[in-house]
Amino acid sequence: MDEFRVLSLSSSFSPSSLYLSCGNGKRFYRSTTDHPSSGLLRIMEESRKFMCHCTLDCVAIDVGPGGFTSTRLAFSLAVGVASSFNVPVIPVLSMEALAVKALDEKKSSSVLISLLLKPDLVLVSSYEVDFSSIKEILSKRIMSKDGFRLWFEENYSPGSLLYGSGFLLICDDYDDICFHTENHTALDIYSVAKIRFYNSASENCYRAREICVDYATLPSALTLEEQINFMQRKS
């Protein structure tokens, strides 16, 4: 595992971060709350001084959901590195990164993940995770914030592990629910990539031109019903 040399980037939710696994136990990690247009570029340059990107085995990319500009900036930087040095890319959804974070921090193999896309719009899915696989067991769905609370209370018992992230702290209105508001980082992107790389590299690694940002943002002018239809078309 220590020989796996990968560059991981994450900026879909603040703070932006970069993780570089250099082999032989050497690691480089930086995070920044500065705008990605300056902060992420700065820590990318620092990582190049730590290890030449030409020796990478692959690049792991956070493909969202997340902020429109910040997600695409990290995506562009990662794809640029992968293209320059002809290394494969492993795309990682924000929700997958949060699921692995729950496994690492809470030792839970089953977790409900929610992302607050807008003040009243929640993207929800559920995952089963171990150190060899990540399996989505609930198809992604969008619902209003009030609808999400009702749905959660009808389908999950108190104490169920719920991980989430968003532009606002969704947990403020959920004091009676075991909710963990988290921001995934490049370390979590790396954890997902490591699982994918060592268990089915041929299926999970792509060429840079085959990757696109998915679910990075939703058109802000759409109604809830229109947004649901929009997501279904992308699935």
Domains of the chain from N-terminus onward: 6-93+184-216 (3.30.420.40), 95-180 (3.30.420.200)
Gap between the Cα atoms of 92 and 177, Å rounded: 27
b (16+ CB within 10 A) / e for 62-99: bbbbbbeebbbbbbebbbebbeeeebbbbbbbbbbbbb
pLDDT tens column, 63-94? 877 776 777 788 888 888 888 898 888 888 88
Q: Higher pLDDT residue, 185 or 12?
A: 185
Contact at 8 Å (CB) between 99 and 134?
Answer: yes
State the CB neighbour count (10 A cutoff) for residue 117.
21
Residue 74: the pLDDT is 82
pLDDT tens column, 180-196? 566 788 999 999 988 88
Cα radius of gyration rounded to whole Å, the chain: 17
Q: Is the pLDDT of residue 29 over 90?
A: yes
